[in-house]
Chain A
Amino acid sequence: MNHSNDYSLAELLACVASRLLEDNRAVFVGTGLPMIATMLAQRTHAPHILIIFEAGGVGPQVPVLPISVGDSRTFHKAVAASSMHDVMAAAQAGYIDYGFLGAAAMDAYGNLNTTVIGAWERPKVRLPGSGGANDVGSFCWRTLYIMRNQSRRTFVNELDFITTPGWLGGPGEREKAGLPAGCGPYRVITQLGVYGFDEETKRLELLSLHPGVTADEVQANSEFEILIPAELPVTQPPTEEERRVLGEIDPTGMVLGKYQFRPPRS
């Protein structure tokens, strides 16, 4: 594989997310980077991945990047233009393997806040709320998070509001709360590295460092302690082929160009 050197952070995040998606699985997609990552998977290693949009688009052959989760591109040449009840029910019934989420803030257990900063009654910043996030985080077998701004303000000890459940307070807590068994957050991708969740504690654990990033930087950009193994692989950079396909998917840089790049320091 030819690895590229002058890739952007957005391209790296899209490639990492894309490689996590297995073929012949169903994925709940939103707009932006998750859509790009899924389209990349579809055009490379996962041609039969089933794309589902929460507003009712099922199995589309997306011609150009959709701007909205309900835009007609989300059901272009689809197998069904259905309804939210149909796809949310499918997710609740266990049909959907992957879901993508982002958030303003996350805690060590992968719980997410997209509702308010400050007190709910009189917020300092009012954010959009759950949208489909609580549904995705409750129902999908494996949830993938993309958070491009990992910092002490976004990786926090205590959330102002738990919009979407991660592992709640640790192992078994989701089931105890009544959520469907055996599902939850799987991977977290940030500008610094890729994370999973420790089996024993369900706390965030570093899995790989992006090129040029150190473990110290990872910890310095988190309020909570991250489990960091002694031996760490480096995230595989985008290949020339992946970058070429990304250029086809987002030729004008509508999403990929929007990112505030923070190039990894060497």
Chain B
Amino acid sequence: MSDVIEILAEGQGELLGWRDPDENRAWVRENKPRGLVDKQMSVQEAVARFVRDGDYLALGGFGHIRVPMALVYEIIRQGRRDLAIAGKTAVHDIDVLIGAGCVAKVECAYSFGHELRGLSPAGRRAVESGQVKVVAEISNGGYQWRFLAGMMGIPFIPVRNLMGSDTFGKSSAKQVRDPWSGKPVTLLPAAYPDVALFHVPRCDRYGNAQIDGILVEDFELARAARRVIVTTEEIVAEEEIRREPDRTAIPFYVVDAVCEVPYGAHPTLMPYRYFFDEAHIQEWLTLSKTAEGAQAYFEKYVFGVPDFDAYLEKIGGLRTLAQLKRIEQLRAPMVNGQAEMEARR
């Protein structure tokens, strides 16, 4: 047996977010806060300080679930450009960011679609016209394992998916022969996003964040990313976190900014608190059929309002939010998005 691991195949996709583990360790040592520091700030300040043009960005949650939308709108408002986005089942967030012209590149596990709601007009238009480039393909399972390798501080992780497919061919992975079993195995490169954004139900001022319901891949992503911004439904006292420490999904030492933003995931779903705003999602999907329509959406909901509180007034205020709460808590039936959108006009 050779003492060199044989590389059997190499994906041709662009390698996003990989770093030499020693370089990242040194960066972490210098830059990540191990002391308890109050990190509360506004979303304006958090985006201004931590999100730069050209960054490789990943957003927490999944599809239309627990997506940090207040931060997404603020990135658009501040005019960030040339972002590379982790399409780790990025649905509403990436679609809106693409529609606003913030995105240059995507590594795609699942993007450009809205699950049962259909394909994404803005995302498709951008990719099919060449405005946005898909630089690599991967799967959902594969993407979160890239973050797992990142959080572990290891250069890659061996897995058994992607093999035999063009998804592998356009990925940034490699295949080698496993020195133990002798079988081919996929090596996924670690991913360290420049910035990761999350919305959580509870967080203290230091950044100890608790999540209710499924974690999706937020546990791994928060620990792999260099900068982490957390928006939270409410800032709670440190003692409240310490009362139920088993619920802490993201510890303070990986967090750089904490912003209190009630309803900060609207129009996406916040488990146990509020349901998808189907009417609002439908409005975006309808308007974003044309570039002009998408622009009108941003004029109305982003540039036309000073902040997220004003946005919440615009989407129907307490009346809408109370209805979404009732639906999420199974106290009211789901509404038809199209009909509700017409009714709100």
Contact = CB atoms under 8 A, between A and B. Distances in A.
Contacts of A131: 89, 109-110, 139-140
A134 B330 contact: no
Q: Is the interface of A mostly helix, strand, loop or mixed?
A: loop
Contacts of A127: 112-113, 119
A78 B23 CA distance: 41
A255 B115 CA distance: 12
Interface stretch (B142-150, B197-205, B253-261): B142-150
Contacts of A134: 139, 141-142, 161-162, 165, 167
A164 B214 contact: no
Q: Is the interface of B mostly helix, strand, loop or mixed?
A: mixed
A68 B269 contact: yes
B341 interface: no
A115 B167 CA distance: 8
A129 B214 contact: no
A126 B124 contact: yes
A32 B213 contact: no
Interface string B79-98: 00000000101000000000
Contacts of B112: 126-129
A178 B184 contact: yes
B334 A64 contact: yes
B271 A72 contact: yes
Nearest to B133: A121
Contacts of A115: 108, 137, 166-167
Contact of B164 (A67, A68, A125, A179): A179
Contact of A132 (B141, B166, B213, B220): B141
B140 A130 contact: yes
B36 interface: no
Interface string B55-66: 000000111111
A174 interface: yes
Given A57-B214, A83-B215, A88 B166 contact: no
B117 to A, nearest CB: 8
A70 B145 contact: no
Nearest to A86: B215
Contacts of A32: 116
Contacts of B65: 55, 68, 70-71
Interface string A92-121: 100000000000000000010001000010
A155 interface: no
Interface string A152-174: 00000000011111001000011
A133 B139 contact: yes
Given A123-B128, A126-B112, A128-B119, A85 B148 contact: yes
Contacts of B130: 122
A89 B66 CA distance: 23
Contacts of A128: 108, 110-113, 119
Interface residues of A, number: 60
A22 interface: no
Given A55-B216, A126-B123, A255 B116 contact: yes
Interface in A44-89: 53-57, 63-64, 67-72, 74-75, 81-85, 88
Contact of A129 (B109, B124, B185): B109
A139 interface: yes
A219 interface: no
B138 interface: yes
Contacts of B163: 138, 165, 177-179
Contacts of A54: 140-141
B43 to A, nearest CB: 23
A72 B139 contact: no
Interface in A168-192: 168, 173-174, 177-180
A225 interface: no
Interface string B302-334: 000000000000000000000000001010001
Best-surrounded residue of B130, B165, B219, B220 (most CB of chain A within 10 A)? B165
A126 B216 CA distance: 25
B213 A163 contact: no
Contacts of B218: 83
A188 to B, nearest CB: 18
Contacts of A63: 330
Nearest to A82: B214
Interface in B211-241: 213-220
B63 A69 contact: yes
A163 B269 contact: no
B217 A85 contact: yes
Interface of B: 61-66, 87, 89, 108-113, 115-117, 119, 123-124, 127-128, 130, 134, 137-142, 144-145, 148, 159-167, 170, 175, 183-186, 213-220, 269, 271-272, 276, 328, 330, 334
21 contacts: A31-B116, A55-B89, A67-B115, A68-B62, A72-B269, A81-B213, A82-B215, A83-B215, A85-B220, A88-B140, A115-B108, A125-B128, A126-B134, A128-B113, A130-B139, A130-B140, A134-B139, A135-B139, A139-B160, A168-B164, A178-B175
